[in-house]
Structure 1
Amino acid sequence: MKENSDVLDTEVFSELSISDGTVFQPKDFFPKFSWEVTPQYCMFGDGSRTLTTSEVEVVSGKSNFVCIEKNHAWTVLEYAEVGTKHEVEAFKKLQPEIKVLYYFNSAYAWPFTSYNENFTRSRIDNYPELKKFLIVNETTGELEHRNNIFFFDVLNPDFREWWVNTVVAGVNFSGADGVFIDQMHGFVWLRNSQKNEVEKAMGEMMLNLKKALGDDKILLGNNASDVVEVFPAIDAAMFEHYNTQKLSKENLLKEWGDMLNNAKAGKISIFRIGVEAEDDPSIDGLTGAAKENALEKLSKERLEYYQACYLIGAQPYSYFQYGWGWRLDTGPLVDYPELQKSLGIPKGAYKRVHENAWEFTREFEHAKVWVDTENKEAKITWL
């Protein structure tokens, strides 16, 4: 293998070559994948409105794989599934081959869809058939919640059936190409004595969802790569780096291995970085517009490092998502020119510069990547 050659041997390497020498086997309903530039996935929502025509153009110019977040257009179209339907139609009109996902949560009863609108303090007591789907605190007898968002009880078989039917209804109504399912945990920490039952129930629910969605829909599970019971059901998994531990050198190394395993299993990976997880001093004490401006500035300053972290472990059908939150105004519309530079096919797997050290390198057709995950430094040399 000509890993160090200046000329790529196209008989050895191709768009779908996995770094271990095997070949990725995509499903017919997956988005088209290319190494031409850094492959991006976009996920966002704005609860107050729909996208403008120019915003649809900006997002589709970056990616052919997007997801509409949980509360999109909720206040103007009444229900989030209507917001998703609106954007699916807008994106498909501009780019028919784009893949657009619907959002639903398996743990939190977010009240943004017509299916969930009665899971609120003011309404839930009027719907005992829905209330039984929620976790109750064993000591107080009150519904468990976080900021008045109730918790689904995955151990309830009636809930699991309702949930699968509800997710499928949202996907079908919106015309989406699949669904992003958030939260794989089933609130296991609230009932550790039933850990095995919770994990088994979550796996069963996801397998039933995949079956009910049909053979032409993408099922993307958040942080699902190492959830043993769930992994067989999913077509794709996100790596959500939501705190500093997730950004640690040890975890990044583990995730590069997980991305390899996902690729070998024919599954998509999403490497999602939000720089808000860094807890950088530059944003200390800031609120509102000042904080948003500081986070955008930080995202531009830190892009080379996080892009390098993604590129070191990326496989065919590995996508990079970048920004500083989940709203439309937290990254998807920002211009990051480096993400549009010519990249090209990887020339092989990453190399560890010194055994047990934290410097890594990797070569692509049009880029050489170096990263030090201990000191959080990187250099991408564009060729």
Structure 2
Amino acid sequence: MTLITCGIDFGTSNTSFALNKDGAVTLAPVENNHVTIPSAIFFQSPNNQPFFGREAIDLFFDRKKGRFMRSLKRVLGTPLMKNGTVVNGVSMNFSVIIATFLRTLKEKADAYAGQEIEHVVMGRPVHFVDNDPGADERAEAELKAIAERIGFKSISFQYEPIAAAFAHEANVSGEKLAIVVDLGGGTSDFTVIRLSQQHRGKADRSSDILANTGVRIGGNDFDKELSLHAIMPELGYRSTYGEKNLEVPLRPYHDLAEWSKVNFLYTPKTIQQTRQYLHQSHDKKRLGRLLQVLEKETGHVLLAGAEASKIALTGEETYLAPFDFIEEGFGITMERSLFEASIRDDVDKIAQAASQCLTDAGVRAEAIDLVILTGGSTEVPLVQQAFRNLFPDAQIADQNKLSSVGLGLAYDSLYKFG
């Protein structure tokens, strides 16, 4: 039997599965003919049958009855992994939920390979959880246990930006000093690494990897900031109520702007409290929209509108976002300038983390020959400008933004197991 190894890029937003067979690395189709799949799952009521990726998203937006979940990677290393959640009335552990998602991808990859795959390199961010080494170790251990649960026998891990570097190294001529900028949905990670054809295939590349840094900021945080600055004010965010002109609680709005927290808002207590604030509200029209979103459980639709607006403002200066699921004819005009203002602090922190990576590596910005951009959020113009300012003389490589990590992990599996 041919030794086939693989790499899995389990991302906050998207997931890919790449195979190495006889030194040839390819991406496996994981949803019909697609080689990436949204990291989404929908448990349909009443029997909790799971659906995945685009199909899960379609079922949810078609308003089928069930529980929709995204950004599951952000739960790793947090107390939620132990506490679990209730899915259509049934208590469920998040390790089971994540394993359910990854198992179906492994089954498709096994079928594509024509045999069961037992060796995997799993991608991981530099930090699953910022400034908490214990939680970071727990997150990797939880992901390893999930990989074992779905049938892998040999499991290794690699930092996602290093994997992206391996994917690009196949096209490098000579030797280049590169920085990898990997902006995912949940984290931004950076690696300074020496790339060359001569070093390709070495099982141990530690001497070529000069530094790694990471920060728990990603595309989902951009969605959240855009939502809080442009959308939530139209749902009563920072409006007041009562004789003392008190500000309505902000927590529901912040939870409504995060994929991993939306479902926890649909409780009788939260809805009843919102009704009480609405009774005393000084802006009943806008706060009434919040109550409607909570009562009809359309928070994910609202978040999808924020994500779609972010993508639209990547290419356009102005975008009219439709929210007619809240009320007929309701839309919000968004400006790229407002979006950029809302995420500027996050982009500055991302750029600071990249600069820290240079400091840790002991190199100056002008020594960098190649900037490798990976992850969908690197398309945001403010992000692009930040890295062109940091590295004005470097070559920019941004091919395969959504699949380079998966490909690089498969190359790494060849080096480690092949």
Per the normalisation by structure 2, the TM-score is 0.29
Whose relative contact order is higher, 1 or 2, with alpha carbons under 8 Å and at least 6 apart?
2
TM-score under structure 1 length normalisation: 0.31
Kindly indicate which of the two structures has a greater share of residues assigned to helix: 2
Structure number with larger C-alpha Rg: 2
